[in-house]
């Protein structure tokens, strides 16, 4: 296992066709594109931008960055406040 000096703040990039452009409900969960998990926001944002650019012509298709580190350790953000 590789050692790192930076704390991992895991982020998930997912996307797919939405049921409506007004919400965040996917039209078909079986077709959701789970792009990957990234060690920090900057890495996730780079991939998110690339995926969003590939689907720019499809108004119904959106990609999102999910802050997994907040789900895994919800108290960590409270310690920073």
pLDDT in tens, 20-53: 999 999 999 999 999 999 999 999 999 999 999 9
pLDDT value of position 6: 67
pLDDT value of position 81: 44
Q: How far apart are CA 13 and CA 17, in angstroms?
A: 14
Distance between the two ends of the chain, CA-based, in angstroms?
Answer: 32
pLDDT value of position 80: 52
The C-alpha angle 30, 51, 73, rounded to 5 degrees, equals 70
Nearest to 18 by CA among 49, 62, 52, 56: 62
């Amino acid at each position: 296992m590789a050692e790192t000096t930076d704390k991992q703040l895991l982020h998930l990039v997912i996307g797919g066709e939405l049921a409506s452009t007004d919400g965040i409900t996917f039209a078909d969960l079986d077709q959701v594109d789970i792009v990957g998990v990234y060690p920090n926001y900057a890495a996730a944002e780079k991939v998110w931008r690339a995926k969003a650019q590939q689907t720019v012509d499809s108004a119904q298709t959106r990609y999102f960055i999910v802050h997994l580190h907040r789900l895994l350790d919800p108290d960590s953000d409270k310690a920073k406040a």
